[in-house]
Amino acid sequence: MKQRALILFAHGARAASWAEPFERLRGLTQARLPDVDVSLAFLELMSPRLPERVDELAAAGATEIALVPVFLGQGGHVLRDLPLMVDALRLKYPHVRFSVATAVGEAPDVLNAMADYCVAAAAASAE
Amino acid sequence: MKQRALILFAHGARAASWAEPFERLRGLTQARLPDVDVSLAFLELMSPRLPERVDELAAAGATEIALVPVFLGQGGHVLRDLPLMVDALRLKYPHVRFSVATAVGEAPDVLNAMADYCVAAAAASAE
């Protein structure tokens, strides 16, 4: 089992198709981090929820869990719900080291890639 | 006034801070498309809503409007709500050419940039 884990934390939705890009992101990330357990966890509507996934990882012996919010905007879910959940998980698992990254939508390279895509979409529409 | 417009369509949220990355994306995109009117529009909770923004653009003489859903997952909002809104807008403005791109979260370069970010977050947590 792997002591290091990375959880990609996403919102969740009713449509199963919603999760597809997140599954691809998980695959891309896992391929580059063979020594880390990379998984998805959700705020709502999809399984596993974040606390459930942390329970599984802690039971399997993870001692270091990095969380990346896969959200574009930093609203209430990232700024309020996630910190409250992580506080509770830190109390429950004092021997596990948790880290929480800023949301992916704040990363300059992600914004630049999205801008490239928007520029290409505008160009395609003009053809 | 500009006849070509690009609307970055996002979900919207209660927290004003939520929109910041979207504003940055708008700025990055506008800088690269000086001849196109680039603006944000929202599904809910923030203004302008999409139909309102299209009303403004059509009144100002736009004849070509490209829409990019700035969503990571393709759930009900992108697959159902947006097409219904665009159908209604096409009926209302038959002289305007609308195009709708796939959601940004489906773009391979965006996914790769997010994967880079996740890998870096896992590495930072291990330090």
B63 touches chain A (CB under 8 A): no
Query: How much of chain B exceeds pLDDT 90, in percent?
Result: 88
Q: Is B56 exposed, middle or buried (0-12, 13-18, 19+ CB in 10 A)?
A: middle
| Of B103, B112, B101, residue with least CA distance to A104 | B112
Does A15 sit within 8 Å of B119, measured CB to CB?
Answer: no
Tell me if B110 and A117 make a contact (CB, 8 A cut-off): yes
Show the tokens assigned to A39: 């998984």
Mutation for testing the A interface, residue in B35, B118, B119, B127 having most A CBs under 10 Å: B118
What is the pLDDT, as a whole number, of residue A68?
98
The more confidently predicted of residues B27 and B125 is: B27
| Cβ-defined contact of B76 to A113 (cutoff 8 Å) | no
Q: Which residue of A has its CA nearest to B5?
A: A122
The CA–CA distances, whole Å, from B68 to A25, A116, A122, B77, B110 equal 20, 12, 9, 13, 14
Four-way CATH pick for B4-126: 3.40.50.1400, 3.40.50.2300, 3.40.50.720, 3.30.930.10:
3.40.50.1400
d(CA B69, CA B8): 6
A122 touches chain B (CB under 8 A): yes
Report the Cα B102 to chain-centroid distance in Å. Answer: 10
Instruction: Quote the minimal CA–CA distance from B62 to chain A in Å.
Output: 13
Q: Do A18 and B74 touch (CB under 8 A)?
A: yes
Peptide bond into B48 cis (omega under 30): yes
Beta bridge partners of B66: B6, B99
Q: What ipTM, to 2 d.p.? A: 0.94
In this model, does residue B127 exceed pLDDT 90? no
Question: Nearest residue of A to residue B126 by CA position?
Answer: A64
Would you place residue A2 in the very low, low, confident or very high pLDDT band (cuts 50, 70, 90)? confident
Tens of pLDDT, residue by residue over B39-82, are: 999 999 999 999 999 999 999 999 999 999 999 988 889 999 99
The DSSP 8-state label assigned to residue A106 in this structure reads G
Q: Which of helix, strand or coil describes residue A1?
A: coil
The residue extents of the domains of chain A are 4-126
Confidence check: pLDDT of B35 > 90 = yes
